[in-house]
């Protein structure tokens, strides 16, 4: 995919899909909500709030970025004998389908192996992300949360933060959410939870995740699990009030990390854990 000034994404496996076939510059610049994640179908889980906020909107657009190539995914059923290269192609097409269903402004799949994302600080991954962030300048950014238990997710988050901090402050997102995928965030204290209501288009989750047949047929029912989780979050959020929404996701507010480069990401993250530890200790102490 070629942009003005002969700028291209750096990995030869990169893919850009624009569902409404507008020109690439327009597709980038109209983005208001951007999701940057590791793998195909992570967007539809982590950044679902942004997708639904922009769906059928006249003035808001969602842009999606998947950093890795989709290799190493589980496979069985009709995909049991697929090679890794064949599975990567399947996953790429599935992600394009989700972008079409969700009416994304653009869908960029950067094509990097996971190991490169984990190892390449200040490298091509960061440069590609910086380019996207610079030209989209989204109001809201959805990334993996730094407590996620998937190594590639944590590495992708750190490469995103690196790219953001390489931009002038005035070009950075106004709000950054660290979202749930492989470590859910129900453990956060109530005051620490960013609550994202996702009941705008309740019917949209199943078709968005349903296009990832290689995962569902491969034995991972993300479509059912994520719908159930959202209902559970809404009901179990508070024990003393009635539900205000039927579908809810939790996130960490990571905005301070992009407003102040002096904040240490490890300390910022561990403070969430320390506040939970103190809350548990105080509650036990009250009744011992």
Tokens representing 286? 């009250």
Q: Are 102 and 63 in contact (CB under 8 A)?
A: no
| Location of structure tokens 């809350």 | 279
pLDDT at 239: 56
- One-character DSSP codes across 243-288: -S-S-EEEEEE-HHHHH-TTS-HHHHHHHHHHHHHHHHHHHHHHH-
Q: 8: pLDDT confidence band, cut at 50, 70 and 90?
A: low
pLDDT tens per residue across span 208-255: 999 999 888 877 888 888 888 888 888 887 654 556 778 899 999 999
Q: Are 83 and 125 in contact (CB under 8 A)?
A: no
pTM of the model: 0.93
Q: Does pLDDT of 5 surpass 50?
A: no
| Mean pLDDT, rounded, of the chain | 91
Tokens representing 18? 């624009």
Q: Are 122 and 32 in contact (CB under 8 A)?
A: no
pLDDT at 164: 98
**How far apart, in whole angstroms, are the C-alpha atoms of residue 47 and residue 68?**
17
* 3-class DSSP assignment, residue 154: helix
**How far apart, in whole angstroms, are the C-alpha atoms of residue 73 and residue 79?**
10
Q: In terms of Cα–Cα distance, which of 149, 141, 148 is closest to 177?
A: 141
Q: 72: pLDDT confidence band, cut at 50, 70 and 90?
A: confident
Q: Are 73 and 67 in contact (CB under 8 A)?
A: no
Domain map (residue ranges) of the chain? 2-287
Fill in the DSSP letter of residue 193: P
Segment 87-99 shows an average pLDDT of 95
**How far apart, in whole angstroms, are the C-alpha atoms of residue 97 and residue 246?**
27
Q: Are 142 and 177 in contact (CB under 8 A)?
A: yes
**How far apart, in whole angstroms, are the C-alpha atoms of residue 269 and residue 288?**
30
* Pick among 3.40.50.10320, 3.20.20.70, 3.30.1330.10, 3.50.50.60: CATH of 2-287: 3.40.50.10320
Give the distance between the most distant pair of CA atoms in the chain: 68
Segment 126-133 shows an average pLDDT of 96
Give me the helix-helix angle, 151-165 and 124-136, nearest 10°.
Answer: 60
Q: Are 268 and 194 in contact (CB under 8 A)?
A: no
């Amino acid at each position: 995919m070629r942009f003005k000034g002969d700028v291209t994404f750096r990995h030869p496996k990169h893919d850009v899909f624009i569902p409404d076939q507008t020109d690439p510059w327009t597709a980038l610049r109209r983005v208001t909500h951007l999701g940057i994640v590791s793998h195909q179908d992570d967007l539809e889980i982590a950044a679902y709030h942004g997708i639904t906020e922009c769906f059928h909107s006249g003035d808001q657009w969602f842009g999606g970025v998947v950093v890795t190539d989709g290799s190493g995914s589980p496979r069985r059923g009709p995909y049991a004998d697929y090679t890794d290269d064949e599975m990567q192609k399947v996953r790429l097409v599935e992600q394009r389908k989700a972008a079409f269903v969700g009416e994304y402004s653009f869908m960029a799949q950067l094509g990097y192996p996971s190991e490169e994302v984990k190892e390449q600080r200040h490298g091509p991954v960061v440069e590609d992300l910086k380019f996207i962030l610079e030209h989209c300048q989204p109001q809201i950014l959805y990334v993996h949360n730094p407590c996620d238990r998937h190594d590639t997710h944590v590495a992708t988050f750190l490469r995103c933060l690196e790219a953001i901090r390489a931009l002038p402050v005035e070009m950075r997102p106004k709000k950054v959410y660290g979202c749930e995928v492989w470590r859910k965030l129900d453990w956060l204290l109530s005051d620490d939870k960013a609550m994202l209501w996702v009941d705008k288009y309740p019917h949209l989750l199943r078709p968005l995740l349903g296009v990832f047949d290689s995962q569902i047929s491969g034995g991972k029912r993300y479509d059912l699990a994520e719908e159930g989780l959202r209902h559970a979050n809404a009901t179990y959020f508070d024990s003393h009030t009635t539900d205000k929404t039927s579908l809810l996701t939790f996130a960490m507010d990571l905005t301070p990390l992009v407003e102040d480069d002096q904040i240490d990401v490890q300390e910022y993250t561990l403070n969430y854990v320390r506040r939970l530890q103190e809350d548990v200790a105080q509650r036990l102490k009250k009744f011992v």
